[in-house]
Structure 1
Amino acid sequence: MSVTLYHWEPNANSGKPMLALMEKGVAFESHYIDMLAFDQHKPEYLAINPQGTIPAMVHDGRVLVESTAIMEYVNEAFDGPVLMPDNPLERWRIRWWMKFMDQWLGPSFSMIGWSVFVGPMVRKRDPAELEAAIERIPLPERRVAWRKAISGQFGEAELAESRRRVAFGIALLEEELGKRDYVGSNGYSLADINIFNSTYSLPLSQPDLAGRDKTPNIMRWLKRVYQREAVKRTWAMGRTDLAHRYSLIMEGID
């Protein structure tokens, strides 16, 4: 059995299959794709995933893309702890939350993150090199997103809507975690991995919306997830300041 994972930092999309593999105890070869250096649009990676999106996983010669679908594949293809319950209602609830994150809330987290983190980090580079890198991006919608992020052109209406969705999503998650210890189920599941990878830094990134007093249920859940050995090992693989947030958040929720 051979598993190779092409990924960026252990957050957002890349973190989903990283955590799933760690939870299942599956050994994998890690290939770090520096998104801020546009590694995902270089010929070597495009030969693996022509769409130029990350992550991508190769299992015994088969290439798999799309982070949530990869997670589900990992859960079903490998031995180890089961990350989906048997109960049909809980399975439905887990899939509901994953779709909510992937299609509705996640893009809003992403837009805000691109605006305040990715764009400022990348726009310091040579404009001609940046334009050449953007032109190599296979998907036209991704070229538009990168140009907006680099030039700071996300419209105020777009950002306001993203902030509204984030506030709504945080409130909904707080309510959900008041009903049970984990997202969508009574046990740790793919939903927790999915949601965690976009909400792991809420106390730092959204201090006006999340924290000990505002969202005690989310904070208890974050502490449970952060203390998992698979999470600790996964976040130890980070290379940027994103990984440093682990210790800062743990200090805040102890």
Structure 2
Amino acid sequence: MDEVTLYHWEPNANSGKPMLALMEKGVPFSSHYIDMLQFDQHKPEYLAINPQGTIPAMTHDGLVLTESTAIMEYVNDRFDGPDLMPSDAQDRWRVRWWMKFMDQWLGPSFSMIGWSVFVGPMVRQRDPAELDAAIERIPLPERRVAWRKAINGDFSTSEMAESRRRVGLGIAKLEEELGKRPYVGSHQYSLADINIFNSTYSLPLSQPDLAGKDKTPNIMRWLKRVYTREAVRKTWAMGKTDLAHRYGLIMAEIEA
């Protein structure tokens, strides 16, 4: 088997999905940490791997794989280990429905809020000329726009309101789903849980008005199930920023 190399940032959102899939399958991989806050993903060394400058990316068997959900599916199909897709056709449909819902509808809203309250403030203190030069190196024009908005705090009131509306609806829908079965879309842990978890792992801290023991007991039980998995503990131990430190804070919140 050719070596698997994963280029990733913190074990959350998009980067966390293939990290967790590889850990769950027991696949050894070479980890290349790409510091998004230092714009490592737009430097020549990484653009030689992925010219679009997006993370994560994975190399295996002569292939360069991008797009986090597609990488997860590749990992599940290509390698031995526990199957992260259910065998029942209806369950597989629900798993794929939830992954599409997250990737195309709910995830971008979580991302906008995260960029506004975390990413932007983290980088805007740097030298403006340095930031300008870094943004100009971004290959995709829509990503240049997003970075400028995050750094300058330019997400509009209507954009933020729509993102908060979607997050509220998404949390309510997830709470309802997890009242039907222990995991997202299936009675077994699957790619849908990995996908959803990587954007909802901090709900008790980031959205206390919408999620918590009283408001969303089903989500809280599910978060505890996922947080206590060995693969999750190992993956989050690879984090380097304050995001990774949330693991202990959230476990304390869940177990309180």
Which of the five TM-score ranges fits, normalised by the shorter chain?
Answer: over 0.9
Counterpart AA for 2:73: E
Q: Choose 53-62 or 160-169, whichever is displaced more.
A: 53-62
Deviation of the 1:169 alpha carbon: 0.1
Moved over 2 A (4+): none
Counterpart AA for 2:236: W
Match of 1:48 in 2: 49
Match of 2:227 in 1: 226
**Is 1:181 the equivalent of 2:182?**
yes
Give the length in aligned residue pairs: 254
Unaligned runs of 5+ in 2: none
Report the secondary structure of 1:64's partner residue. Answer: strand
Alignment of 1:132-211 (within 5 A): 132-211=133-212
Unaligned runs of 5+ in 1: none
- Percent identical pairs in the alignment equals 85
* Superimposed CA distance per residue, residues 78-131 of structure 1 (whole angstroms, 9 cap, x where no aligned partner): 000000011000000000000000000000000000000000000000000000
Distance in 2 between residues matched to 1:66 and 1:253, nearest whole Å: 31
Match of 2:236 in 1: 235
Distance in 2 between residues matched to 1:175 and 1:243, nearest whole Å: 28
Counterpart AA for 1:205: S
Match of 1:26 in 2: 27
The two structures have a TM-score, normalised by structure 2, of 0.99
Distance in 2 between residues matched to 1:234 and 1:221, nearest whole Å: 18
Report the secondary structure of 2:249's partner residue. Answer: helix
Deviation of the 1:209 alpha carbon: 0.2
Deviation of the 1:60 alpha carbon: 2.2
The two structures have a TM-score, normalised by structure 1, of 1.00
Distance in 2 between residues matched to 1:85 and 1:111, nearest whole Å: 31
Deviation of the 1:61 alpha carbon: 2.3
Match of 1:13 in 2: 14
Counterpart AA for 2:60: H
Report the secondary structure of 1:30's partner residue. Answer: strand
Distance in 1 between residues matched to 2:205 and 2:87, nearest whole Å: 35
Match of 2:103 in 1: 102
What CA RMSD, in Å, does the superposition of the two structures yield over aligned residues?
0.3
Counterpart AA for 2:134: A
Counterpart AA for 2:92: R
